[in-house]
Amino acid sequence: MMLGLELLLIIVCLLYGARKGGVALGLLGGIGVVVLTFVFQISPGKPPVDVMLTIVAVVAASATLQASGGLEVLLLMAEKMLRRNPKYISVLAPFVTAFLTMLCGTGHVVYTMLPIIYDIAIKNGVRPERPMAAASVGAQMGIIASPVSVAVVSLVAFLAKAPAGAHHVDFVTLLSVTIPSTLAGVMMIGIFSWFRGKDLDKDPEFQARIADPETRKFIYGETTTLLGKELKRDQWIAMWIFVGAIAVVATLGAFEGLRPHFDGKALSMVLTIQMFMMMAGAFILIFTKTNAGSIGKTEVFRAGMIAVVAVFGVAWMADSVFDANLPTIKAALSEMIKSQPWTYALALLIVSKFVNSQAAAISAMVPVALSIGVEPGYVVAFAAACYGYYILPTYPSDLAAIQFDRSGTTHIGKYLINHSFIFPGLIGVGTSCVVGYFLAAARGLV
């Protein structure tokens, strides 16, 4: 009964925190820890300090890239490719946004691309819902395949602390599963999107809408583009510094011998990521004229700091409950999850929807899963399930896609659940989990 009350407390904090938005999710975790400690007399667990510091380092570097204007270089490259292939935009758009997320570590890059994707689609007679919804979902799927995303660095840190005897999953092994499985999921999203919905010339609702000259003018509007914008030398320098740092991190992860060894052990990838991300941000400041004061004002920095607070509160609260009740939880769940590993993926998906954050979902679920005996291989195989907030159209990027689509084809349905993002999300995440499982099996992880 006590365990039930403690779990209910976690659920209430998650639901209310997610409803309030922003840093509320993490702060509500603070209430949970206080109640657990002073009311239920549970010894507080340990906050995931390594994870939080890694997030800070990655966010600092990514925010410095955005403040320097280096992000615009990547966005301009993406736009040029899309405009060269307008007929295939429904397939290319989710790949473009996924790759941008993988490079930058945040799905917030999609906001700049959405109006450009809409402009290309509507001017070429493509139903905007097709690439718009796919691009929004693709951007979020790219998070679990990014070597510098909050979710991945959190997952690496948790896997590094897996119980003795379990399969060791390092940084490169993780990405060797999540990158191809993510791309497979994005590909299936693109194929589905290419054929979804009615063509604009056969859609009676759309045709009725553009029959009014003023509405037609609003829908087709003026061209939104980054083309023709003059990029400064500093922007290119910042971009290459950031991309170079990612390449170095990936190389050090692939070749353990390149890392310094202390007491017979190679420097951990958690510390390696922290060092090189901080250094990348510093180099951008040193070799460009970036205003250091503007870094904290960027969207990437704001979202990243919210993620830190969310991970702090959610993981601390969950760790407190599960540490105190580990024998009971193991007895209740371990056999079920071992015999039916997909139940872990389902639980991760549901928690992700509650917390609206992949990093927070991983912080809440992965330590618990590992502590009750779930093989790290299954955690890696089903990593894509940490993206479940497409289930209801409440995430900012989905809402932005709806707003940018002036044609009205990207929409929230009458029954709320029948919205433009539900099928791309289910198809993408489902495919990634299936492919991830087979890749993990091929590596001998499951």
Query: What string of H, E and C letters represents the secondary structure of 17-80?
Result: HHHHCCCHHHHHHHHHHHHHHHCCCCCCCCCCHHHHHHHHHHHHHHHHHHHHCHHHHHHHHHHH
The secondary structure element, H or E, covering residue 390 is: none
Q: Which residues constitute the domain of residue 349?
A: 2-442
Q: Cα torsion for 307, 109, 147, 188, to the nearest 10°?
A: 110
Buried b (16+ CB within 10 A) or exposed e, 52-64: bbbbbbbbbbbbb
Alpha helices in 105-149 (DSSP H): 110-123, 129-141
User: How far is residue 444's CA from residue 48's CA, in Å, rounded to a whole number?
Assistant: 29
Question: Which neighbouring-strand residues pair with 336?
Answer: none
pLDDT digits (tens, 9 = 90+) for 178-212: 999 999 999 999 999 999 999 999 999 999 999 99
Query: Is 335:107 a contact under the CB 8 Å cutoff?
Result: no
User: How far is residue 433's CA from residue 440's CA, in Å, rounded to a whole number?
Assistant: 10
For helices 129-141 and 110-123, angle between their N-to-C axes, nearest 10 degrees: 160
pLDDT at 236 over 90: yes
Hey, what are 272's tokens?
Answer: 């390696």
Q: Has this prediction a pTM greater than 0.95?
A: no
pLDDT at residue 166, as a whole number: 65
User: How far is residue 444's CA from residue 93's CA, in Å, rounded to a whole number?
Assistant: 34
pLDDT digits (tens, 9 = 90+) for 1-59: 787 888 788 888 877 876 776 688 789 889 999 999 999 999 998 887 877 887 788 88
Mean pLDDT of 106-131: 88
User: How far is residue 160's CA from residue 260's CA, in Å, rounded to a whole number?
Assistant: 17
The secondary structure element, H or E, covering residue 261 is: strand 261-262
Query: What string of H, E and C letters represents the secondary structure of 87-107?
Result: HHHHHHHHHHHHHHHHHHCCH
Query: Is 226:74 a contact under the CB 8 Å cutoff?
Result: no
pLDDT at 429 over 90: yes
pLDDT at 129 over 90: yes
Give the chain's domain count: 1
The secondary structure element, H or E, covering residue 262 is: strand 261-262
Model confidence band, residue 332 (pLDDT cutoffs 50, 70, 90): low
